[in-house]
Every structure is written in C-alpha cells, then in structure tokens.
Amino acid sequence: MFNKKTVRDVDVKGKRVLVRVDFNVPMKEGKIKDDTRIRAAVPTIQYLLDNGAAVILCSHLGRPKGGPSAEFSLQPVAEHLQKVMGRPVAFVDDCVGPKAEAAAAALKPGGILVLENTRFYPGEEKNDLDLARQMAALADIYVNDAFGTAHRAHSSTEGVARFLPGVAGFLMEKEIKYLGEAVESPRRPFVAILGGAKISDKIGVIKNLLTKADTVLIGGGMANTFFKAQGYPVGDSLVEEEAVQTAADLLKIGGDKLRLPVDMVIASAFDAEAEKKTLAVGPVPEGWRILDIGPETAAAYSKVIAAAGTVVWNGPMGVFEFPRFAEGTFAIARAVAESSAVSVIGGGESVAAVQQSGVADKITHISTGGGASLEMLEGLVLPGLAALQDK
C-alpha cells in the first residue's frame, strides 16, 4: 500500500520544485548509451510543468573521486533531456552556492534547470545536512523520483526532505506499488527467480522471499555455491567459499520451496567460444566451469512460471553476455513474458536480458533500481522513501 504524498497532493503552481531524478545513465566518450532512466523521469517533469512549476533537477552520475571532473558532468544529460522534452533546458555547473542560486532564482514557471552532479561534493554520500540545506534553499518543494537511489541516505535523497516538504514522483510511486504489492499482497502462486553471481548480496532477499513466496527458483553463479554446499565438486566454477555454510542453512530453511537447477551447461574456459557440454547436476570436471542452467532446468522452471500469479525476477541464469551461454536466461525471459502472471523484473542484468530477448514489452513492470529493488524485496525501509510526507 503506497501511503506517501505524491506530486498530485501538492499545489506546485508558481513554485520552484527541486526534483531528485536518477540520471545515472551509462556514458561512453561523452555520449549517452541508454536513456531509459531519463525517459522514466519525463512523466513527473511534464506534470510539474503542466501545473505551473519551475523545475530544478538534481542527480548523481557515476562515482567521481575527489570533486568535479568533466567525465562525470551532467551537461550532456541536460542537452539530451532538451531533445527528449522538445523545449529548452538550462544547465548550471554547480548544485549549490551562488551560481546555482542565481540560476534557480532566474527560472520562470515552465522552465527546466539541471544542476551539476551532486557527488562532486564529498558531503553528498555522507548525508551532510549543511549541503542538504543549501540544496533545499533553491526551491519551495522537494520531489523524490529517483527510486534507483532511494536505498541511500544522501544529502539529495534524504537530507533535503528535512528542510522542504517532500513528496514522491510518479516513477517512485509506480516502483513502490509494483514491488511492494508483489511482496506484500501477491497474486498466488508467487514465484521468485533469483540469479546473478553472488549469494552474499542476496541472503536477506532469499530469507525474506522464503517467508513470502510459494517457490524460489535459483540460477546463475549463486547456484554453484549451493551445489558446493550439497557436497559436489564444482571444478573452476565461481563459488563464494565464505557463503557455503549460509547456502547449506538456506537449503534447510527452504525445504521444497527452494528449487535448484537439475542440469547445467559447463564450459572449458570463461570464454564466449569455449567448448561446452550439458550435464546433469553433479561433479564438474577439473578445469571446467558452470556458465548456464541446462535445458531440463529451463523447462522445469518455465512450467512453474507458467502457473504463477506473480513473478519477481532478479539476476540472470548464466553468463548471458556470451550468446552460447545465454539460452537459459533467455528461456526464462520468454517464460515470464508468456505467463499471465504480474511480472516484475529488477536489477540491471535481468533488465538487459529481458530487453535482449525481445520480450520487454510483455513484462508488467521493469524496475529502474537494482540495489533499491533488492532492498525492497528484502523487506527493508528505503531512507529516500521514508523521508517523504505521509498521506
């Protein structure tokens, strides 16, 4: 149940509105490679403009070390946003201080201003309240529409809401609605699919989902650690040695709910062109490594997915970046797309897999936040959300 105020609940006419967006887009040589996150913010920006607000946007980009650098400037993002919006977008090369204040003061209703990267200030990630106070001084209202950073308590995501009335944007509302409902009041059977390399960053998620889901399907590199916990030699496969005991404990807690692969695709090297074999789950020969789930696993998992009422998927089933080891991941993507379940995909790699397999338009909701969606699936409170006003 989404119980936070949104942009619909405040009068923004004639007001300056500071919007925390997630413009942390992939860049190469100053060019934006994928503008999904920019486009995801447009509904909130457009609504504010239509209702007479002056819109000031702030975001981080990348991980700048030790202050401003051209590589991490948001200027190319501002220029791209101008094309997307089809209207002028101003940019200022600071996010607080005299320049930012002058640019914000000059902004008229219907105008858009993009501030420079918030992480150019080391205080941002420490939730420095003096920095937050300076950001808040630029506006009358604060909107958080950056679900992707809602799990961080930073100056621009949590601190600002202490000095301005804070509400959610439409993207934040949509993300919380789909992810929250999937976990708290799912249509059943509720099936969770977890992949990716590591168990360690998903222990809390697996534990929480074992109390909520009807079935948890495991794939990807994390399955190797479960195999090791079952006593199988796994050759040169990626294994988290320090998580083997945790995997053994999860197998005990999980019982019949926790399903592991029954077959596997192994490779002679970590290489797109490596020799490959499909084997039933068991000992992996020395020098070989598991790079995908096998066809029997894909078929068995697809059957479970076909009967589901809700599916939440985070993490690929194998090294899908190598086309010859992408079959398991793409089979699961197709199964999710073809099911009549409410489907929620979170995490950058699962999103990429769904897009590459050409079924993205058949997914109910594709999350823009990796870490934030994981923390929601774990049942944790997101500081960026908690800081906003309750309805």
Q: Which residues are catalytically annotated? A: 37, 198, 348, 371
Cα–Cα distance measured from residue 87 to residue 18, given in angstroms and rounded to the nearest whole number = 18
**207 Cβ neighbours under 8 A, 6+ residues apart:** 250, 253, 378
Buried-state track 51-72, b at ≥16 Cβ within 10 A, e below 16: bebbbbbbbbbeebeeeeeeeb
Contact 341, 330 (CB under 8 A): no
Look at strands 289-293 and 263-267 and give their pairing: antiparallel
User: Could you check whether the bond before residue 233 is cis, i.e. omega within 30 degrees of 0?
Assistant: no
Contact 143, 48 (CB under 8 A): yes
Cα–Cα distance measured from residue 234 to residue 359, given in angstroms and rounded to the nearest whole number = 33
For the chain, the distance separating the N- and C-terminal CA atoms, rounded to the nearest angstrom, is: 11
Find where tokens 């994981």 sit.
374
- Give burial (CB, 10 Å; 0-12/13-18/19+) of 162: middle
User: In the sheet where 141-144 sits, what is the strand order?
Assistant: 90-92, 112-115, 54-58, 16-20, 141-144, 166-168
The closest of 176, 167, 173, 226 to 200, measured between CA atoms, is 226
Which H/E stretch holds residue 169? none
Look at strands 112-115 and 27-28 and give their pairing: unpaired
Quick one: tokens of 293? Answer: 């789930």
